[in-house]
Amino acid sequence: MVLDKFGSSLKNTFKKIARMGIVDKEAVEGILRELQRTLITSDVDVALVAQLTSSIKKKVLGEKAPPGMSLKEHFIKTLYDNVVAFLGAEKGEIALKKQKILVIGLFGSGKTTTIGKMAKWFKVRGLTPALVACDIHRPAAQTQLEQIGDKVGAKVYKKGKKAEDVAKNALKDAKEDVIIFDSAGRDALDGKLAKELKNLGKIIQPDEVLLVIPADIGQAARKQTEEFNKLVGITGLAVSKLDGTAKGGGALAAATAAGAPVKFIGVGEKMGDLEMYDPKRFVSMLIGYGDIQGLLDKAKEAGIEEEGVKKMLEGKFTLNEFMEQIQNMKKMGPLNKITEMLPGMGSLKIPKGMLDVQEEKMKKWEHIISSMTKKEREEPDILTASRIVRIAKGAGTAEAEVRDLMKNYKQIKKIMKMTKGGKAFKRGPFAKLARQMGMG
């Protein structure tokens, strides 16, 4: 699991605030001490930790809560915003266009693996990748890149004796959309390595120079990032090996402090284990709000207004919206995939086949709903047996069909209500916070 311990400590801290009766100075200080412990355990630089907590304290205790917000809500929101900013300057943006990417980093940092993952990442997004084996120092390096290229289906260019020649030849030969250059690592960024990387930069003229930093070096990531940036120049970072290290929080905070945007995170050894880094989404996931942002993105992809998703999350829908929602959900993918992304929904079992709504059935349901009165559509609870008989007749269908529709509608409505987050999301500070974070 990514940042397992860090995530669960953070989650507990947020939970604790949510459960608090009164939030006063003492409570704020207690929580901030806990946050300090969590961060320090994750190898975050102590000076950075002190800065973070004192600025949160100043904002929460020194400033008045915005109108309509309680101190508790103000605290949660401030904490969330600050932790997000602490772990990432911005959302990692990588353009989906024809481009050249040079990947650099120390020995064993995960360059070659990350390159393979990136090739796959671009491929999935419709761009053809190619790999260039500019690591000519380690005998097995080119073979390793070729194996990885085979795995992800990317051509590997390796003609030439010197790194510079390999790059030049590849620039002539490669016609692929995204050309990713592997480079040699060293134990330290010495003059030799810097020179070679600078030469490669001059020859390649890359759109991106990504430095690969392994998460397990924790706060040392700051110095390394600054040095590489000064000597070679980088456009961003890929933080590898975020799985299975307790120091990931330290590495992410260090990268942020060095002012370098983290563009990718590596979360495993497999070629699919690469994610674009979005600190907001990342922290939301860690503290267990579920991948709400992901849901909104997904809805957007399907061309659905966010409004519709919000309504769905709020469980506010009448039979009028029912049809609309079912059609939308079909566009978004299987309901069980959607519910996986919602807080506390992972374990919920959706009745099998419930959303496997056939076209035919949808049509029937449309007839049924249009045979209802306006009031019946808006308040389906008033449907009595005699109304059902009338509706079935009007729609030219069996009463059982009307009941089947109602059963499905009620089940979905119930799920949507639960989705709103059981206790934490329905009442209390989380409801408002969720709204502010654009989730509710």
Ligand X SMILES: Nc1nc2c(ncn2[C@@H]2O[C@H](COP(=O)(O)OP(=O)(O)OP(=O)(O)O)[C@@H](O)[C@H]2O)c(=O)[nH]1
Binding of Mg ion by 112 (CB under 5 A): yes
Q: Which of 72, 77, 100, 111 is in the footprint of Mg ion by CB under 5 A?
A: 111
CB of 266 to ligand X, least distance (A): 3
Nearer to Mg ion, 77 or 111 (CB): 111
Stretch that binds Mg ion, among 112-120, 201-209, 284-292, 407-415 (CB under 5 A): 112-120
Name the residue nearer to ligand X (CB basis): 266 or 421. 266
The correct pick among 173, 269, 301, 366 for binding ligand X (CB under 6 A) is 269
Per the DSSP assignment, residues forming a β-bridge with 237 are: 211, 262
Q: By C-beta, is 186 or 426 nearer to Mg ion?
A: 186
* CA 440 – CA 421 distance, rounded (Å): 10
Binding to ligand X, residues 107-146 (CB under 6 A): 107-113, 135, 138, 141
Residue 173 site contact among ligand X, Mg ion, none (CB < 5 to 8 Å, cut-off depends on kind): none
Q: How far is the CB of 183 from ligand X (least distance, A)?
A: 8
Q: Which is nearer to ligand X, 208 or 273 (CB)?
A: 273
Q: Could you tell me the smallest distance in angstroms from the CB atom of residue 216 to ligand X?
A: 9
Binding residues with ligand X: total (CB under 6 A):
21
CB of 150 to ligand X, least distance (A): 15
Residue 377 to residue 357: CA distance in whole angstroms: 20
- Nearest distance in Å: CB 180, Mg ion: 12
Contact of residue 333 among Mg ion, ligand X, none (CB under 5-8 Å per partner type): none
Which of ligand X, Mg ion, none does residue 113 bind (CB under 5 to 8 Å by kind)?
ligand X
Q: How far apart are CA 387 and CA 60, in angstroms?
A: 56
**Options 109-117, 163-171, 190-198, 311-319: segment touching Mg ion (CB under 5 A):** 109-117
Q: Which partner, Mg ion, ligand X, none, binds residue 244 by CB below 5 to 8 Å per kind?
A: ligand X
| Cβ atoms of 306 and 299 closer than 8 Å | yes
- The answer to whether 240 contacts ligand X (rule: CB under 6 A) is yes
Q: Which does 266 bind (CB under 5 to 8 A by kind): Mg ion, ligand X, none?
A: ligand X
- From residue 160 to residue 189, the character string flagging contacts with ligand X as x (rule: CB under 6 A) and all else as - is -------------------------x----
Residue of minimal Cβ distance to ligand X: 185
Residue 250 is encoded by which pair of tokens?
């330290």
Asked if 210 and 103 touch (Cβ cutoff 8 Å), the reply is yes
Nearest residue (beta carbon) to Mg ion:
112
- Cβ atoms within 10 Å, residue 264: 22
The residue range among 267-275, 326-334, 378-386, 410-418 that interacts with ligand X, by the rule CB under 6 A, is 267-275
Is there binding between residue 42 and ligand X (CB under 6 A)?
no
CB of 312 to ligand X, least distance (A): 35
Q: Under rule CB under 6 A, which residues in 91-110 are in contact with ligand X?
A: 105, 107-110
Q: Whole-number minimum distance, CB 332 to Mg ion, in Å?
A: 39
Enumerate binding residues for ligand X (CB under 6 A): 105, 107-113, 135, 138, 141, 185, 240-241, 243-244, 266-269, 273
Enumerate binding residues for Mg ion (CB under 5 A): 111-112
